């Protein structure tokens, strides 16, 4: 653990199982006739934090389990540098796993839960003790070492699960929604903790979540999946600013998705008409005039001002601002944020800057 704690990304790989790149090449997995994961191409570099993001059932856990070796591939291959990995059983891949349900041994103390994997590997007593102590320190559980999992809070149990995985110094850590059982405050704390451990131990991490915020804050790169297929791969800033299609936009906080018809181009922009009002947006891809499009805008970018009329239906206090739900005469629901507090039933008009309105082929 000490060596791991002082290693920095970029220093030479010093132990078996270490890799420079892990390459997924057309990784696919079907259940019966249903393709849960299709043609996943992804190269993970050592030291990276990758988040797999997407709605329930999109294939995130399937992808993780294929990597772990818990699920055989139906097609494709996985390569650790030049060595083929998908033919190896899980225990020979040297990966650590952290699940949503901590899966701790209830009858073993925290210390013995963490030590378990090292004992299985017949690590000498003195080294085992040193590594377990270091792992306990890293997750701030020194005081709880003698307790049973049942005597710990959810967050503490999840820390044990993480310590148990990282104490083995895995070449890759796989985490499947590790924070989803925790309350909001603890989730935030553990998120920071996970990122800190990833950095200080020089880990390579693949992290599954359906929480957009979690993925954006943790990951170096995001992989957005939908119905088993990759929609976009890129750093958080890129996905946030330039979602490749409206499904990604939906996941990146574009809560207003308006099914409209493409109008003519105007300069670099594109005109869309909504209930007799013209808005100018930014085309993504090349939506043809007259074709069906999805216009996407974030609540914070929809501003009250001369434009599309709507009636306020719900006003929700959110501290600095209020969240407003409004509806157009034609029945289109709009979500926006406002510094002022309109009343329910107020008639307002909303508009958006062209660069904040993305117009995707639908």
Ligand X SMILES: Nc1ncnc2c1ncn2[C@@H]1O[C@H](COP(=O)(O)OP(=O)(O)OP(=O)(O)O)[C@@H](O)[C@H]1O
Site residues (CB under 6 A) for ligand X? Answer: 31, 36, 54, 56-62, 210
Tell the smallest beta-carbon distance from residue 176 to Mg ion (Å). 6
Closer residue to ligand X, CB minimum distance, 33 or 331 = 33
Please choose which of ligand X, Mg ion, none residue 36 contacts, taking the beta carbon within 5 to 8 angstroms, the exact cut-off set by kind: ligand X
Please choose which of Mg ion, ligand X, none residue 58 contacts, taking the beta carbon within 5 to 8 angstroms, the exact cut-off set by kind: ligand X
Please choose which of Mg ion, ligand X, none residue 294 contacts, taking the beta carbon within 5 to 8 angstroms, the exact cut-off set by kind: none
CB 202 within 8 A of CB 195: no
Tell the smallest beta-carbon distance from residue 220 to ligand X (Å). 21
Task: Give the number of residues in contact with Mg ion, rule: CB under 5 A.
Answer: 1
Closer residue to ligand X, CB minimum distance, 67 or 358 = 67
Please choose which of ligand X, Mg ion, none residue 354 contacts, taking the beta carbon within 5 to 8 angstroms, the exact cut-off set by kind: none
Please choose which of ligand X, Mg ion, none residue 75 contacts, taking the beta carbon within 5 to 8 angstroms, the exact cut-off set by kind: none
Closer residue to Mg ion, CB minimum distance, 71 or 114 = 71
Closer residue to ligand X, CB minimum distance, 214 or 301 = 214
Question: How many CB atoms sit inside 10 A of residue 128's CB?
Answer: 17
Please choose which of ligand X, Mg ion, none residue 229 contacts, taking the beta carbon within 5 to 8 angstroms, the exact cut-off set by kind: none
Tell the smallest beta-carbon distance from residue 29 to ligand X (Å). 8
Note whether 61 binds Mg ion by CB under 5 A.
yes
Tell the smallest beta-carbon distance from residue 109 to ligand X (Å). 31
Tell the smallest beta-carbon distance from residue 113 to Mg ion (Å). 24
CB 313 within 8 A of CB 336: no
Tell the smallest beta-carbon distance from residue 207 to ligand X (Å). 12
Please choose which of ligand X, Mg ion, none residue 31 contacts, taking the beta carbon within 5 to 8 angstroms, the exact cut-off set by kind: ligand X
Closer residue to ligand X, CB minimum distance, 35 or 301 = 35
Please choose which of Mg ion, ligand X, none residue 187 contacts, taking the beta carbon within 5 to 8 angstroms, the exact cut-off set by kind: none
Closer residue to ligand X, CB minimum distance, 62 or 338 = 62
Closer residue to Mg ion, CB minimum distance, 207 or 246 = 207
Tell the smallest beta-carbon distance from residue 90 to ligand X (Å). 16
* Cα-to-chain-centroid distance, residue 340: 33
Q: CA-CA distances (angstroms) from residue 165 to 92, 162, 266?
A: 15, 5, 55
Any idea how long the chain is?
Answer: 362
Query: Closest-CB residue for Mg ion?
Result: 61
Closer residue to Mg ion, CB minimum distance, 78 or 225 = 225
Q: Is the dihedral of CA 20, 26, 32, 36 positive or negative?
A: positive
Tell the smallest beta-carbon distance from residue 36 to ligand X (Å). 3
**Footprint on this chain of Mg ion (rule: CB under 5 A):** 61
């Amino acid at each position: 653990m000490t060596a791991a704690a002082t290693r920095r990304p970029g220093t030479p790989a010093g132990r078996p199982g270490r890799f420079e790149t892990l390459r997924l090449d057309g990784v696919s997995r079907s259940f019966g006739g249903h393709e849960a994961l299709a043609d996943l191409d992804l190269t993970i570099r050592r030291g990276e934090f990758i988040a797999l993001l997407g709605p329930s059932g999109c294939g995130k856990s399937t992808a993780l389990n294929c990597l772990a070796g818990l699920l055989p591939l139906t097609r494709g291959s996985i390569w650790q540098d030049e060595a083929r990995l998908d033919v190896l059983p899980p225990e020979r891949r040297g990966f650590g796993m952290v699940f949503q349900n901590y899966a701790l041994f209830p009858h073993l103390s925290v210390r013995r839960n963490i030590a378990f994997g090292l004992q299985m590997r017949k690590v000498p007593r003195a080294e085992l003790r040193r590594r377990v102590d270091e792992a306990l320190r890293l997750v701030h559980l020194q005081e709880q070492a003698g307790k049973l999992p049942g005597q710990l809070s959810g967050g503490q149990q999840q820390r044990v699960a993480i310590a148990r995985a990282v104490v083995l110094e895995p070449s890759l850590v796989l985490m499947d929604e590790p924070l989803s059982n925790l309350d909001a405050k603890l989730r935030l704390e553990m998120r920071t903790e996970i990122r800190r451990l990833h950095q200080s131990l020089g880990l390579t991490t693949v992290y599954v979540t359906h929480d957009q915020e979690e993925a954006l804050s943790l990951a170096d790169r995001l992989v957005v999946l939908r119905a088993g297929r990759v929609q976009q791969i890129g750093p958080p800033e890129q996905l946030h600013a330039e979602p490749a299609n409206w499904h990604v936009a939906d996941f990146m906080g574009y809560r207003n998705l308006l099914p409209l018809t493409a109008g003519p181009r105007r300069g670099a922009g594109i005109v869309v008409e909504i209930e007799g009002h013209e808005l100018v947006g930014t085309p993504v891809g090349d939506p043809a005039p007259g074709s069906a499009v999805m216009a996407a805008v974030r609540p914070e970018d929809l501003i009250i001002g001369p434009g599309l009329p709507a009636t306020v239906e719900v006003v929700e206090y959110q501290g600095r601002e209020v969240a407003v739900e409004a509806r157009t005469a034609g029945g289109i629901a709009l979500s926006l944020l406002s510094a002022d507090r309109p009343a329910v039933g107020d008639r307002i008009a909303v508009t958006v800057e062209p660069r904040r309105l993305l117009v995707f082929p639908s």
